[in-house]
Each structure stands twice: as structure tokens, then as C-alpha cells.
């Protein structure tokens, strides 16, 4: 079966712009979580959605937002980009919250 | 809040020897623990897990040990192979939280 698909794979944006990243979970998975990976910081939790409802949110500023659609696909948006937002953004899906995560390959965002 | 900590950013071992990766957690409500492995330009892949009702789980060359009283878990890889070279993330749930990762290098 198809894995978790994240698009685009790579993105270069300018400071102040906004960006939208997309995640298509494994078929049948209703939970989608987003993580930011930066060198030395590991995987920082952004938010988790289950059946279109945000179940959990990490300690990120309000510039970071997300949503989940009825088909379980999810998007995250970052507004007013800063240089420090450059990172690998990873999406994970599972059948239920908190367990059995399968990760996508990530979107590498570079802010210049 | 770093609820899951991997204090060793890197580890280097010789092929054939044992690799021991360590992880500490602070939240006593965690009841499920996992290890993920990550290669460059790929997402993390699940390696092995353990429930809080157990203290050991084995899968081939990989064994995870859990010491609940010390809030500590470890991953043992025996014997280590060059293909095991990757970043290893420890995770605990609920809610799912990850450590900063340990880069393992296995030298031929």
C-alpha cells in the first residue's frame, strides 16, 4: 500500500512569505501529526489531527497552523517566514492518535 | 519541554560489536516507547517498541530495555553492521514525543 506522501519535497522561500505543505496519509489512517526537524533539536512536535479535529498542539508560535480535511489529508501553513523556520518538516500518519506512526519523507524548507 | 532526552548526540562503534543507545524520559504517564531509525533525506522508520508492562523486547539483532523506576530505556544492537549507521530517535507516548536523536556510526 502507498506510504505517507508529502509534497513538495523541497521548497525555497523568502523571509516574510508564507508557505503551505501537504501530507497525504496512508489509506485508512485518520490521525496525522506534524514535526519539525532541525539539527540538534530532534523532532519537535507541531500538532496532531484526528478526524479533522486538532487533538494536540506543540509550543510553536501562531504563525504555524494546520488543518485536516475529510479525506484525512492534512496541510500545514507557516506565515511570515523567518530564517529560523528552515527545517525538515515531517508528517506522520496512524490509525489512532499517539501510536503506530508511519512517517513521510518530509519537505525540506529553506528560507532565504 | 524536553520530556524525552537522548544525551549522546553521536556514537561510534566497530562492526560486530554492540551498540547501546540510551534514552531518558521525565513524564511518568508515558506507557509506550519506541525507537525510530532515520537515514538522510528519508523520514524516520519504526524499528522496535516496548510497552510499559514489559522490561525487554527483542527483535532479531535489536533489543529494547525499559527501566521504569529510572525512567530510562536503551536500544542494543548486536552485532552492529555498517548498514546500521543512521540517526536513532527514541520516542514515548502518549502523547508522542521524540528525543533529539543519536547519530550511530558503525565502522567496518
On whether any CB of chain B is under 8 Å from the CB of A39, the answer is no
pLDDT score at B47: 95
Tell me the percentage of chain B whose pLDDT exceeds 90.
91
Interface contact B96-A41, CB threshold 8 A: no
Please say if the pLDDT value at position A72 is more than 70: yes
Mean pLDDT, all residues of chain B: 94
Identify whether the C-beta of residue A75 lies closer than 8 Å to the C-beta of residue A20: yes
**What is d(CA A69, CA A71) in angstroms, rounded to the nearest whole number?**
5
Chains A & B: contacts with CB separation below 8 Å:
53
Instruction: Indicate whether A75 pLDDT > 90.
Output: yes
Of A40, A59, A90, the CB nearest to B100: A40
Query: Is the peptide bond between B108 and the residue preceding it cis, with omega within 30 degrees of 0?
Result: no
> What phi and psi values does residue A88 have, to the nearest 5 degrees?
-95, 125
For B1-29, how does the pLDDT look when each residue is reduced to its tens digit (9 = 90+)?
679 999 999 999 999 999 999 999 999 99
Q: What's the average model confidence in pLDDT over B27-55? A: 93
Beta strand pairing status for B102-107 and B86-93? antiparallel
pLDDT band at B61 (very low <50, low <70, confident <90, very high): very high
**Helix (H/G/I), strand (E/B), else coil: B39:** coil
Q: What is the pLDDT of residue A95?
A: 84
Looking at chain A, the number of H-run helices and the number of E-run strands are 0, 11
**Which residue among A41, A42, A101 places its CB closest to the CB of B96?**
A101
Cα–Cα distance list, A4 to A89, B18, B47, B76 (Å): 13, 33, 17, 28
Q: What is the mean pLDDT of residues B49-72?
A: 96
Reply yes or no: is the peptide bond before residue A70 cis, omega within 30 of 0: no
Is B88 part of the contact surface with chain A (CB cutoff 8 Å)? no
Count, residues in chain B: 108
CB within 8 A of A81, min separation 6: which ones? A13, A14, A15, A16, A17, A18, A19, A111
| pLDDT at residue B95 greater than cutoff 90 | no
Sequence-separated (6 or more) residues with CB below 8 Å from residue B24: B4, B5, B6, B7, B70, B71, B72
Residue with more model confidence, A18 or A96? A18
Model pLDDT, residue A21 = 98
**pLDDT tens profile A18-59:** 999 999 999 999 999 999 998 777 889 999 999 999 998 999
**Chain B residue numbers touching A42 (CB-CB < 8 A):** 6, 89, 98-101
Of B1, B32, B41, the CB nearest to A99: B32
* Residue B70 cell numbers, joined: 529510572
Q: Are strands A74-78 and A64-68 parallel, antiparallel or unpaired?
A: antiparallel
Per-residue pLDDT, averaged over A68-89, amounts to 96
Give just the sign of the alpha carbon dihedral B40, B88, B27, A101.
positive
Does the beta carbon of B29 lie under 8 angstroms from any beta carbon of chain A?
no
Instruction: Note the pLDDT of residue B101.
Output: 93
What is the mean pLDDT of the segment spanning A77-95?
A: 95
Query: How close A19 gets to chain B, by Cα (Å)?
Result: 20
Q: Which residues of A, range 54-83, sit inside 8 Å of B by Cβ? A: 56, 59
A38 sits in which H/E element? strand A31-38
Amino acid at each position: 500500500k502507498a506510504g505517507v506522501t508529502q509534497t513538495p519535497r523541497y521548497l525555497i522561500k523568502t523571509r516574510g512569505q508564507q508557505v503551505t505543505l501537504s501530507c497525504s496519509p496512508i489509506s485508512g489512517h485518520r490521525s496525522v501529526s506534524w514535526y519539525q526537524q532541525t539539527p540538534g533539536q530532534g523532532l519537535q512536535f507541531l500538532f496532531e489531527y484526528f478526524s479533522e479535529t486538532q487533538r494536540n498542539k506543540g509550543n510553536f508560535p501562531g504563525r504555524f497552523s494546520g488543518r485536516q480535511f475529510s479525506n484525512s489529508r492534512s496541510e500545514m501553513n507557516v506565515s511570515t517566514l523567518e530564517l529560523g523556520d528552515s527545517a525538515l518538516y515531517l508528517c506522520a500518519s496512524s490509525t489512532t492518535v499517539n501510536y503506530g506512526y508511519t512517517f513521510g519523507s518530509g519537505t525540506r524548507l529553506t528560507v532565504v | 519541554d524536553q520530556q524525552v532526552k537522548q544525551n549522546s548526540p553521536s556514537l561510534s562503534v566497530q562492526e560486530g560489536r554492540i551498540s547501546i543507545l540510551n534514552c531518558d524520559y521525565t513524564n511518568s504517564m508515558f506507557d509506550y516507547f519506541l525507537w525510530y531509525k532515520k537515514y538522510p533525506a528519508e523520514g524516520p522508520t519504526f524499528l522496535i517498541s516496548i510497552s510499559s508492562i514489559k522490561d525487554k523486547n527483542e527483535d532479531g539483532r535489536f533489543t529494547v530495555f525499559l527501566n521504569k523506576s529510572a525512567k530510562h530505556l536503551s536500544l542494543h544492537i548486536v552485532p552492529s553492521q555498517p548498514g546500521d549507521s543512521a540517526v536513532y530517535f527514541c520516542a514515548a507516548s502518549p502523547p508522542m514525543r521524540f528525543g533529539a536523536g543519536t547519530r550511530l556510526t558503525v565502522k567496518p
